Amino acid sequence: MEDRLKRLRIRRGQLKALCKRAHNTLSSDVVNELNVAQLLERKAKIEVTWSQFDEIQSEIEAVLDSADTIATHEAERSDFEETYYDITSRFQDLIISRGATATSDAEARSVSTNRNRALAGNLKLPKIDLPSFSGSYEEWYPFHDTFQSLIHRDRSITEIQKFHYLKAALKGKAAELIQSLEMSADNYEQAWQMLIKRYDNKRLIIQKHLRALFELSTISKENFAALRQLVDEVLKHTRALKAMGRPIDSWDDPIIYLVTGKLDHNTNKEWEDTIAGNDIPTLQRLMEFLEHRCRTLEAVNRKGSSVQAQTKAGQAKVSALVSTKAAACQKCKENHQIYSCRQFLELLPEERLNFIREAKLCWNCLKVSSHIAKDCKAGSCKTCGKRHNSLLHIPGNTAETKVSNSSNQITEPTGNSSTSNVAHATMLNVSSQVFLSTAVVNAHDNQGNKRACRILLDSGSQSNFITEDLVQRLGLTVRPIDVSIVGVNHAYSQVKKMAQVQLSSRYYSYNIIINCLVLKKITERLPNVTMDKSIFKIPPNLPIADPNFNQSTDIEVLLGAEIFWNTLCVGQIKETVEHPLLQKTLFGWVLSGRYPGIATPIETVHCNVTTNHLNLERAIERFWQTEQISTTPVLTAEERQCETHYKENHYRAEDGRFVVKLPKLDHNTNKEWEDTIAGNDIPTLQRLMEFLEHRCRTLEAVNRKGSSVQAQTKAGQAKVSALVSTKAAACQKCKENHQIYSCRQFLELLPEERLNFIREAKLCWNCLKVSSHIAKDCKAGSCKTCGKRHNSLLHIPGNTAETKVSNSSNQITEPTGNSSTSNVAHATMLNVSSQVFLSTAVVNAHDNQGNKRACRILLDSGSQSNFITEDLVQRLGLTVRPIDVSIVGVNHAYSQVKKMAQVQLSSRYYSYNIIINCLVLKKITERLPNVTMDKSIFKIPPNLPIADPNFNQSTDIEVLLGAEIFWNTLCVGQIKETVEHPLLQKTLFGWVLSGRYPGIATPIETVHCNVTTNHLNLERAIERFWQTEQIFTTPVLTAEERQCETHYKENHYRAGDGRFVVKLPIRENKLQTLGNSYDIALKRFHALEGRLSRHPELKAAYTQFMQEYIDLGHMNPIKANSQETAISYYMPHHSSSVLQEKERREL
């Protein structure tokens, strides 16, 4: 540090000495002998010292940065400035007095040269880096010319140095080419020649540039950046071709055609407007037009940037207001809202009401405010819909709690009050958690061992799902499949694998064997966040299906509707403030539904709807057919040649597209043509045409000789095709064109009658097709009920055991009482002739006039949210509110929701009403069921109020009700599925049909399943909406911020060019550190007086200038001794003169 300071002071002393010598020269007689040129030279040298001194002095001040040295630094600067101004002004006077009113061109050049020389002493030019070359033909000539001019032709560089430079510049394949050469001076020339021989191929380079012109990127819309890139690419390749001697000047027409084909519609239209009549434009004219177009679009883009910046600034300001809204809880004084306070939620509703009254909070939004509940903009009670918060709702026997519209007052319910019978309502409270029905079960691996896994029960799913991780842990066999799944809001995803797994209950003797679609991840972790288990007061001695229901963990298996309803048992405990709803199942008691007692923030909301456009059963059928075709495809010579051409000539472009060169010439012909070209010879078009004519004659002669062989080959191929095409046979029962397992006559038979028919028709008892193989060797799937080697349609149910199939022949053995089999309660093999029904119902939806309109709903236990279609919202005239929610479906298929609406639904059979908030979608899912069926085939018990009378008709779903509603609609009453009807479950909307029904022979086109995730959950979005609406307090500013705001209001103005100008504020507490400036300023003032006394003309102009400042009010005289009574800082003023139009002007 000391050495550096010493060097800086020495350098500063040298500059001051230089100025001192110049001052002495001006004061001596030597100055009379100097001519104008010498005066100009000396003046230029003195002018250079100004910037040098300023730089050195600044460094010294940075080192000696303390309050004690401020006065010293000011004195140094003041002394130098006075000397500098005095010397330069005296030089200027001498030059003017000796008649040099304007410097000559020679003198000006001399001054400029010396000044540039002086500046060059401090200017360091950037290093010129050698270009690199990686082996690309397009880079060869730029590299060749640059390296040759900088290194190769420079005689001052030795050969060994040139070799080092060459190796350092080469990369990739180019470096590998000379890697074997030893580093020596003798090998440099050999290495250079090897590169020239390999890469100096003009013909290949020309082709590369032409290909680049043909593959220019297309511009879809007006964009100056893309358009400028297009222009640069065209100019780069055309100039390169011209430098290689190609006649590019005569290629205007094809290049114009190529370029205009890449332009956007508006630019192309503008270009056509510039062409008059039959005028033929040139490439130069097109490039000038595109350059002008780029400048125009760029200028328009700049004008729009300020508007965008203002918009963003406004948005940031609103966000800042919202962020200052968060206040401390009035109950526990912690940093959260009171409706998320655990102490507040533990109180009874009456106690909460008393606390809100004492704290003088709004009874609706529970926030400090001067407004009353009547005027509050927050939502109403989610139970009764009145103007008080749901947490203050006091349940009554015959009526709901009512809130006065005039003040924050709650009236107790009375027996005579008339209210609607609302059994359930939801306003999507941010402090509540919707639980989905999860369970922990045993999964059997390939060795028969049991491993625990976590499952989700979903009544809104037609398919079952399993994760890839669980499949690997269990060692399950995976089969290929191709299924497109359509989720909520038509979010698509793809499934490529399926596996069969066996699950069993940890509490009861219940086993299932199911086929599952394999996904990397089924859904987000459930529940949304991990919670403290101690806050739940669950009745003792209940076998909980998921003991760790409170921990947010992954779902490994999803069970759909065909399994869901069979797992339900009689037993349900309604939700309370101590726990969510509890439902008994064969896996144990599951927790589900909404639980408002949890104050944990919710980040995700789950719901489930997907559609497979290629249904699983039909994919398996095609899989069997594929397995039974043992012949490999026979390709013709032309097909094999096409496949080879693709492998050799395709590549992937930068934008991800696959590009394949069109096979204009076959491989052999192209090879023959290349053999005719010697070295770097560039062929002509005439030469190519002559070669092709000769090639045609040769092939024609050869073709005549081999025509008979080709005819024989084609005949063989036709024979193979015929064998494959005759594979599809007519039904052996009704002789129509379908498989027997889709035959209605066959399905109407009893299992014993079907077995007899198959025996008589001599069909395979497993795949039900004409074949020489037996069931043991059949490659089709096994029975979906017992897993044995016979078709599911031939399964004969028994009381104590399952039907067994002999492995030696197509023989079925009747069950016996002593047979030992595993207790399998349900299994599914995804039969193509069965239909999975989802639980649909027709309910009354209330419009904005209170009228009832019928709509079709879907009950889904695997959904945390409710959904409604845009069409129903419009028909009911509902109010739509904006929202921004990202929904993640099965297999992480994303979609976006922008609207939500509130709707009231009621049952057509019972006094059950719900008021719910729904996310608005254009379409919830595909039509249900998959196809319309004949209702007469269903034998439903009479006198049952069916929830969906037209359950057999494939129609749209208009509302989806999630888990918070689903479990509250279930009633005690279930009729198991039979050959006459699917499973029937009693609900508050009527009896719904659900589960798998194998008695339908109608082909299935779609399979439905439901899982989505909202990354911005609905409740928190509504909470933020309330916070934005209820900002009544002004932001709290610090004292410094208030001072800054006051200063801006009092000291800003708008300049003539539109900019806002603000006077810089002074920090009062820093004024004491300014030091004593009066003595320095006084010294400078005396020096100025001495200078003005020597130049009367300058003094008069300076006096006039300062008087003008006083008259304009820019400055005022200070009072005597004012420096003793106030904090002041004195800034010296300088006078300087310039020449303008031969007259002296002072500034």
pLDDT in tens, 1047-1088: 888 888 888 777 888 888 777 666 666 667 777 888 888 888
In three-state secondary structure terms, 161 is helix
Q: How far apart are CA 1027 and CA 358, in angstroms?
A: 22
How much is the average pLDDT of 1093-1104? 85
Q: Are 557 and 501 contacting, i.e. CB atoms less than 8 angstroms apart?
A: yes
User: Which position has the higher pLDDT, 728 or 209?
Assistant: 209
d(CA 508, CA 567): 11
pLDDT of residue 421: 33
Give the mean pLDDT of 70-90: 82
The residues facing 74 across adjacent strands are: none
DSSP single-letter state for residue 996:
E
Is 576 in contact with 533 (CB distance < 8 Å)? no
Tell me the CATH class for 433-535+545-603. Answer: mainly beta
d(CA 612, CA 830): 14
Q: Cα(1105)–Cα(1116) distance, rounded to whole angstroms?
A: 14
Q: State residue 171's pLDDT score.
A: 87
Domains of the chain, by residue range, sit at 2-120, 137-200, 217-302, 327-419, 433-535+545-603, 730-778+786-823, 835-1026, 1071-1146
DSSP-derived 3-state class of residue 864: coil
**Which residues, 6+ apart, have CB-to-CB distance to 982 below 8 Å?**
837, 993, 994, 995, 996, 997
The span from the CA of 558 to the CA of 652, in Å, is 39
Residue 205 in tokens: 């380079």
Distances (CA, A) of 142 to 202, 240, 242, 717: 13, 9, 14, 55
Judging by beta carbons within 10 Å of its beta carbon (0-12, 13-18, 19+), is residue 285 exposed, middle or buried?
middle
* DSSP state letter for 490: G
* Span 805-827, pLDDT tens digits: 333 334 333 333 333 333 333 33
The answer to whether the beta carbons of residues 1018 and 917 sit under 8 Å apart is: yes
d(CA 611, CA 1006): 6
Q: What mean pLDDT, rounded, does the chain reach? A: 75
d(CA 1086, CA 387): 82
pLDDT reading at 1133 higher than 50:
yes
Q: In which band, very low, low, confident or very high, does the pLDDT at 501 lie, cut at 50, 70 and 90?
A: very high
Q: Which residue has the tokens 């009745």?
A: 539
In the chain, the amino acid numbered 707 is S
CA trace torsion 751, 752, 754, 759 (10° rounding): 140
Which residues lie below 8 Å from residue 873, measured CB to CB, with a gap of 6+?
880, 901, 903, 920
**Parallel, antiparallel, or unpaired for β 450-457 and 557-559?**
parallel
CA angle 320, 324, 328 (to 5 degrees): 160
Q: Residue 404 — very low, low, confident or very high, per pLDDT cuts 50/70/90?
A: very low
Q: Please say whether the beta carbons of 63 and 5 come within 8 A.
A: yes
* Confidence grade of residue 803 (pLDDT, cut at 50, 70, 90): very low
Least confident of 427-431, 493-497, 577-581, 665-669: 427-431
Contact call for residues 869 and 1028 (beta carbons, < 8 A): no
Topology alike, domains 433-535+545-603 and 835-1026: yes
CATH of domain 835-1026: 2.40.70.10
Give 926-974 as a DSSP string. Answer: S-BSSS---GGG--PPTT--BS-TTTTS-B---EEE-HHHHHHHEEEEE
Q: Does residue 747 contact residue 737 with C-beta atoms inside 8 Å?
A: no
Distances (CA, A) of 712 to 700, 719, 724, 767, 1093: 19, 11, 19, 37, 121
Q: Report the 10 Å Cβ neighbour count for 834.
A: 22
Give residue 188's pLDDT: 86
Q: In whole angstroms, what is the distance from residue 262 CA to residue 898 CA?
A: 36
The pLDDT value recorded for residue 297 is 85
Q: Determine the average pLDDT of the residues in 71-80.
A: 82
**Angle value at C-alpha 107, between 104 and 111, nearest 5 degrees:** 135
pLDDT band at 558 (very low <50, low <70, confident <90, very high): very high
CB 992 within 8 A of CB 948: yes
* CB contact burial 655-672 (16+ within 10 A = b; e otherwise): eeeeeeeeeeeeeebeee
- Tell which wins on pLDDT, 75 or 102: 75
Crossing angle (nearest 10°) for helices 159-169 and 137-147 = 150
Q: What is the rounded distance in angstroms from the CA atom of residue 459 to the CA atom of residue 996? A: 12
d(CA 162, CA 185): 8
Eight-class DSSP state of 149:
I
Q: What is the DSSP string of 189-231?
A: HHHHHHHHHHH--HHHHHHHHHHHHHTPPPP-S--HHHHHHHH
Bigger pLDDT: 81 vs 1020: 81
Predicted confidence at residue 1000, as pLDDT, reads 55
Number of residues written out for the chain:
1147
How big is the chain by its Cα radius of gyration, in Å?
45
> Mean of the pLDDT values across residues 648-660?
73
**pLDDT tens per residue across span 460-490:** 888 889 999 999 999 999 998 877 777 676 6
- pLDDT exceeds 70 at position 261: yes
Interior CA angle at 380 toward 375 and 383, to 5°?
155
Mean pLDDT in residue range 49-53: 82
Q: What is the pLDDT of residue 1124?
A: 54
User: How many C-alpha atoms does 604 have within 13 Å on its Cβ side?
Assistant: 20
Mean pLDDT of 620-641: 55
Q: Quick one: how far is CA 245 from the chain centroid? A: 49
As given in the structure block, the two tokens for residue 1102 are 């300076």
d(CA 469, CA 1053): 67
* H-run or E-run covering 1084: helix 1078-1094
157 φ/ψ angles, rounded to the nearest 5 degrees: -100, 135
**59 has a pLDDT exceeding 50:** yes
Task: Give the model's pLDDT for residue 124.
Answer: 54
Residue predicted with more confidence, 1144 or 345: 345
Q: Which of 584, 448, 543, 554 is nearest to 504 (CA)?
A: 448
For residue 1134, pLDDT beyond 80: no
Q: What is the band of 1023 on the pLDDT scale with cuts at 50, 70, 90?
A: low
**Token pair listed for 37:** 């040129």
Q: Is the four-CA dihedral 318, 320, 324, 325 of positive or negative sign?
A: positive
Tens of pLDDT, residue by residue over 139-184, are 888 888 888 888 888 878 888 888 888 888 888 888 888 888 888 8
Positive or negative: CA dihedral 784, 790, 795, 797: negative
- Residue 100: its pLDDT value, please? 44
Identify the DSSP state of 544: B
Position 545 pLDDT exceeds 90:
yes
